[in-house]
Chains A and B, each alone.
Chain A
């Protein structure tokens, strides 16, 4: 870890701590710091405030951190894979595929629960992975990923799945179903629970672990395919690793939270602005920054429109875009 990264990482960790504490204070139940400490150290499930703090607020906070980290890091990987700063985690149609799966559930299934399983996240994950496979099939030739073709395939298949989703919505529309689809499409952490957290946590930890070691290959790949090959990087293998990792990570997050936008686009840029393009700590810092950004947005969403909160995807765009524009104007791309 270089000297430039360390202060930023420490600052991010401090900010995360502050946001977590603040996040534990916001909600319908009145709490204070002593009560939060008591709930965390002497948890009593019979105490309603303890239950709310530990079973509702804390998993929501952790999910926001994991989702933000996962989406930001996926965006970082995708931008490296196609060597294009416009890439984001939804490049391969993950968001539209996941939305299609969820819309199918809301529109046509008589019950959203089957055999004890809540179906929308499962259908969303299936939709995300199926769409990704189609995009990859169109965007590759003889086992080689062609970045430009992959980008176009992502846009085209994404448009198709969005259109099919629109038809599903149109055919089955009731006011509640429409609101459900809209709410899901804008992203939310309201359904967070401890039981679902291992999936994004394991996916993010594995991805970070893998690419902390492969950071050198990632950096070289960003210099261009020919130079990477000249420097001995197995471009095809690295691209496949990037693609599979980013797809699984994004799929896990989108299935649980909906397609929260903008995080995966802006945070990798911010990471490179702050730490430079070649920093070894970039993956870790990108995930930390993404987690903080999404947690802050969720906090803001809950404060602005209690009790349900604005959909977090709207807040990420409302506050992220002006900041992104400011950075573009003042620091360049």
Chain B
């Protein structure tokens, strides 16, 4: 007899959105009450996360994203037949590999324009505003999203659903992800002392996940806290060895203990004094999960939770 605990059931919840995402974008029964097509507006006016105003077709049929996280979101929310291309770094889900490739760095403007997308989605910092302005001159609207918290990610998915007329898919997806997240939060005792976690993105110079990144929110839900409490102008600030010694993080993320012992700590032996090294709480993490604020964000939080709780 098959026994499934409530936690296992919650882990299966995200799978529920897959069949929904793969459904063709057919009209819903409720839409029968909508006004006749002739009276429907042909376009919709949008304001993206950067406050930019843009006009896109009322029902976009040709879409693409210039960031791998947003491509993952599109696959989770949009009618997959409407996704016309991917970038050279988009590799999830596997089905995306069958799409045309548009180079995002440097941006292959000509190919992108030739594909005649109705709207292009991207993330702040990935596509330059200058490139977006040029694309808009060619009649290609660019919609920016900004993710600094988990709520931003969920809101981003709902925004995609609204723009693409896939509200129900987006709502199912965010509901299931939020339910999963709630289950993770329950597991983390509120009074537990939160380990200070430093996540490095590059070793020379030492760049880390700053306070104003999604990591801060994710690690908080996972039961820890971002060791970087100071807010810097850059989301991924460069830190000195002295600053890291002062932070004295309990957990270091950026590579397995063995790997960092032979590279990072070999180059910066003074940093062997930090708690994380002394207690060997130095961990590698799935890069894609950590870096992509998409539908796998809860998976990322769960991975962080395992590291923080030392399981």
- Across the interface, which residues of A come within 8 angstroms of B243, CB to CB? 28, 307-308
Which residue of the partner chain, among B105, B201, B263, B266, contacts A176 with CB atoms under 8 Å? B201
Q: Can you list, as one digit per residue, whether each of B226-250 has a CB less than 8 Å from chain A (1) or not (0)?
A: 0000000000011111110110000
**B267 and A118 contacting across the interface, CB-CB below 8 Å:** yes
**B267 and A308 contacting across the interface, CB-CB below 8 Å:** no
In angstroms, how far is the closest chain B Cβ from the Cβ of A102? 10
- Tell me whether A120 and B204 are in contact in the complex, defined as CB-CB below 8 angstroms, given that A56-B270, A111-B263 are known contacts: yes
**A113 and B263 contacting across the interface, CB-CB below 8 Å:** yes
- A residues 43-88 with Cβ under 8 Å of B? 48, 51-52, 55-57
**B242 and A56 contacting across the interface, CB-CB below 8 Å:** yes
**A180 and B202 contacting across the interface, CB-CB below 8 Å:** yes
Complexed CA–CA distance, A27 and B241 (Å): 10
**Chain B interface size range:** 20 to 34
**B263 and A308 contacting across the interface, CB-CB below 8 Å:** no
**A28 and B240 contacting across the interface, CB-CB below 8 Å:** yes
Residue of A55, A112, A308 with most chain B CB atoms under a 10 A cut-off = A308
In angstroms, how far is the closest chain A Cβ from the Cβ of B148? 18
Which residue of the partner chain, among B207, B242, B262, contacts A307 with CB atoms under 8 Å? B242
- Across the interface, which residues of B come within 8 angstroms of A111, CB to CB? 263
In angstroms, how far is the closest chain A Cβ from the Cβ of B164? 28
In angstroms, how far is the closest chain A Cβ from the Cβ of B122? 14
**Interface size of A in residues (CB-CB distance below 8 Å):** 27
| Interface presence of A237 (CB below 8 A) | no
| Interface presence of A230 (CB below 8 A) | no
**A179 and B273 contacting across the interface, CB-CB below 8 Å:** no
| Interface presence of B188 (CB below 8 A) | no
- Tell me whether A48 and B204 are in contact in the complex, defined as CB-CB below 8 angstroms, given that A28-B246, A190-B241 are known contacts: no
Total residue contacts A-B, CB cutoff 8 A = 69
**B205 and A188 contacting across the interface, CB-CB below 8 Å:** yes
Q: Please, which residue of chain B has its CB at the minimum distance from the CB of A177?
A: B202
- A residues 281-328 with Cβ under 8 Å of B? 307-309
| Interface presence of A183 (CB below 8 A) | yes
**A173 and B105 contacting across the interface, CB-CB below 8 Å:** yes
Q: Please, which residue of chain A has its CB at the minimum distance from the CB of B233?
A: A305
In angstroms, how far is the closest chain A Cβ from the Cβ of B155? 25
**B242 and A57 contacting across the interface, CB-CB below 8 Å:** yes
| Interface presence of B149 (CB below 8 A) | no
**A190 and B240 contacting across the interface, CB-CB below 8 Å:** yes
In angstroms, how far is the closest chain A Cβ from the Cβ of B104? 11
| Interface presence of B203 (CB below 8 A) | yes
Residue of A28, A55, A56 with most chain B CB atoms under a 10 A cut-off = A28
In angstroms, how far is the closest chain A Cβ from the Cβ of B81? 31
Which residue of the partner chain, among A118, A120, A183, contacts B238 with CB atoms under 8 Å? A183
- Could you jot down 7 A-B contacts, CB within 8 Å? A28-B246, A51-B273, A52-B242, A111-B263, A176-B207, A179-B238, A180-B205
- What are the 7 tightest A-B residue pairs by CB atom distance, in nearest-first order? A308-B238, A307-B243, A176-B202, A113-B263, A28-B243, A28-B246, A28-B242
Q: Using a CB–CB distance below 8 Å, which chain B residues touch chain A?
A: 105, 201-205, 207, 237-243, 245-246, 262-263, 266-267, 270, 273
Q: Using a CB–CB distance below 8 Å, which chain A residues touch chain B?
A: 27-29, 48, 51-52, 55-57, 111-113, 116, 118, 120, 173, 176, 179-180, 183-184, 188, 190-191, 307-309
**6 other A-B residue contacts (CB within 8 Å) besides A176-B201, A179-B207, A183-B238:** A28-B240, A56-B242, A113-B267, A179-B238, A180-B202, A307-B239
